[in-house]
């Protein structure tokens, strides 16, 4: 999953901000440092928003610089998106998991799904599991 940020120089620092995530703004003393800080800020904000059950806007802006979301955060976001209006309880039941076990899968601070678990989830949703390294 990729978001895009804009970086502009203001005085002695470079400011990075995400049009899709207006609450994420950071800076660095070099362009490279601002881009690295942007990734940290984006991952941190997404992790908190997901953990607290807040809605997360999907990436739509395609200008600027690409920032790849950490895999554990992207998996949690994709699971929430796939589930849609279905309850976590219903999905947990279909997976043969407890509600709490499924709930952890959608929480990037607690999730650590195995490939087998991801395969089961893909099967429940009628999808193919695609992993690229």
Cα gap 24→128, rounded to integer Å: 33
Condensed to tens digits (0 to 9), the pLDDT of residues 56-65 reads 999 999 999 9
Q: How far is CA 18 from CA 15, 52, 65, 87, 104, in A?
A: 10, 20, 10, 30, 27
Do the beta carbons of residue 17 and residue 23 sit within 8 Å?
Answer: no
pTM of the model: 0.84
The residue that leads in pLDDT, 16 or 122, is 16
Condensed to tens digits (0 to 9), the pLDDT of residues 68-110 reads 999 889 999 989 888 989 999 999 999 999 999 999 999 998 8
Burial status of residue 72 (CB atoms within 10 A of its CB: 0-12, 13-18, 19 or more): middle
Cα gap 66→59, rounded to integer Å: 11
Condensed to tens digits (0 to 9), the pLDDT of residues 7-26 reads 999 999 999 999 999 999 99
2-10/65-68 β-pairing: antiparallel
Q: Which domains does the chain have, with CATH numbers?
A: 2-68 (3.30.160.250), 71-124 (1.10.260)
Cα gap 94→74, rounded to integer Å: 22
């Amino acid at each position: 999953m990729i978001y895009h940020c804009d970086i502009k120089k203001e005085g002695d620092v470079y400011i990075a901000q995400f049009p899709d995530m207006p609450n994420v703004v950071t800076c660095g003393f070099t362009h490279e440092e601002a881009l690295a800080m942007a990734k940290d800020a984006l991952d941190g904000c997404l992790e908190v928003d997901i953990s607290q059950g807040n809605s997360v806007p999907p990436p739509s802006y395609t200008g600027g610089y690409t920032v790849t979301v950490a895999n554990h955060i992207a998996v949690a976001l994709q699971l929430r998106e796939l589930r849609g209006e279905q309850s976590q309880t219903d999905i947990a039941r279909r997976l043969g998991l407890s509600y709490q076990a499924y709930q952890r899968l959608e929480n990037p601070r607690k999730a650590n799904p195995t490939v087998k678990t991801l395969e089961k989830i893909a099967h429940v949703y009628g999808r193919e599991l695609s992993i690229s390294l």
